[in-house]
Amino acid sequence: MHLGIEESESDEESFLLTASKRPKQGIPEPARFTAQHKLAFFGLAAAASAALLLVVVSFTASSWAGLWPGWRNSSQVTASKLGTSLLNEAFEPTKEKTLLPPFNGQLLKAVFEETSANTFFEEVQMDDGTVSYRHRNGLLITAKNGERAVSSPSVPGSTQFFGKLTNADGTISLMVHGGTWLTSLPSGTVVADAPTIQSWQTFTQKKGENGTIALRSTHGKYLGVQTLSEEFAAADRSMLATDDGLGRQTIAAVSVIVTADANSIGSREKFTMLSYAADNTVSFKTKYGTFLTSPPSLNGLVSGDSTMACGRETFSLIKKDGKVYLHTFDGRYITALEHGFLVGDAKVPDAWESFFMESHSDGTVSFKSYHDRYITAAKVESPYRVAQTHS
């Protein structure tokens, strides 16, 4: 795996290099002027090649035009367009590439030498095992698979929830929806594109006041927003918690068992599908108002216990050959076993990971497994309630 980057590139250019194409970590980075001269040299070489090819194409076109009357004008136009395209591509590496953040927010970077108000976040722990990081200005760390991270107001979907893994050395790593890991580049750009954990995917936690934390990258810089703004101080936080006015979230002690063993479709086999434009994911609400949840561990069972659609309650819905596949938060696929249990540990979608999705007139959907059984949700209630306190 290659996870390096030449600091000679701008933030935009370094981000364009995927994790697999970046130089290995630990390799000394060349001086800025060296990379720029190399880039200019290759750009001029490519331009010269394109110009030569333009001459050849034009000459060839003129020669062929003598054999087919009326072809001369079109051939010269075609040759001109081809040459222009090649020249444009030759000079493209020297242009400044501008990338727009995927959400309306502020750019998140790991460039701060010391901790400050810019670098502390409130870590909100969710019932599904994911965490969310909220800045004092109300913005949330937001990361979409394969794109750079920003600080953004709340958006529905899974982009603001992370799977938190504590490493053997005490550092943490943060997984985004789809199974990739948050990566801090030497330039300070933070991108969600690493398939495995190495040093650039680790962060050291430093505790602040009121339970806040700061995250320091392996390059010794703290993660934070570059400017403080109270513009979104009253941002919608409903996706993080349903408050009872006393700082507590009160939920019923309910267990919703989800299996794929129903022979026919009834109300328990119908699910309301919610779509999220921010990350092209979906959630499935049961008749009880709870959501299907992929297991936090790869050997766990899919359940329907969650009262909120957060990280593990969102799935990528992949359609192929008239069937659908449910891609989980961890980058795996939901499998329907022969006895009806649903697990989320398949690396590759195969027959047992395929479902026929049936739509109903009431807007709900049902799923029939490979074993010709429907996914069903059964509720088991307890006579008491549980109050959870959020700091």
What would the pLDDT profile of 193-207 be if each residue is shown by its tens digit?
A: 999 999 999 999 999
**What fold characterizes domain 248-389?**
Trefoil (Acidic Fibroblast Growth Factor, subunit A) (2.80.10)
Strands 106-112 and 222-225: antiparallel
Name residues whose C-beta falls within 8 Å of residue 365's C-beta, 6 or more positions apart in sequence.
270, 271, 272, 273, 284, 357, 358, 359
List the single range of 66-70, 213-217, 223-227 with lowest mean pLDDT. 66-70
DSSP-derived 3-state class of residue 272:
strand
Query: How far, in Å, CA of 5 to CA of 16, rounded?
Result: 11
Query: Which of these, 362, 379, 380, lies nearest to 265 by C-alpha position?
Result: 362
Strand partners of residue 205:
215
Of residues 102 and 76, the one with the higher pLDDT is 102
Query: How far, in Å, CA of 333 to CA of 335, rounded?
Result: 6
Query: How far, in Å, CA of 74 to CA of 70, rounded?
Result: 8
Query: Which of these, 369, 379, 381, 354, lies nearest to 262 by C-alpha position?
Result: 369
**Percent of the chain having pLDDT more than 70?**
63
Mean pLDDT, rounded, of the chain: 76
Query: How far, in Å, CA of 248 to CA of 269, rounded?
Result: 32
Summarised one tens digit per residue, pLDDT across range 97-121 is 344 445 556 678 999 999 998 899 9
Domain spans of the chain? Answer: 31-94, 106-225, 248-389
**Are the folds of 106-225 and 248-389 the same?**
yes
Of residues 254 and 27, the one with the higher pLDDT is 254
Q: What residue type is 218 in one-letter code?
A: T
Give yes or no for a contact between 24 and 181, defined as CB atoms under 8 angstroms apart.
no
pLDDT at 53 over 70: no
Burial 134-166 (b: 16+ CB within 10 A, else e): bbbbbbbbbbbbebbbbbbbbbbbbbbbbbbee
What is the rounded average pLDDT of the residues 310-319? Answer: 96
Query: How far, in Å, CA of 373 to CA of 340, rounded?
Result: 8
Summarised one tens digit per residue, pLDDT across range 150-159 is 998 998 999 9
Summarised one tens digit per residue, pLDDT across range 247-265 is 334 444 568 999 999 999 9
pTM equals 0.71
Q: Considering the domain 106-225, what is its CATH architecture?
A: Trefoil (2.80)
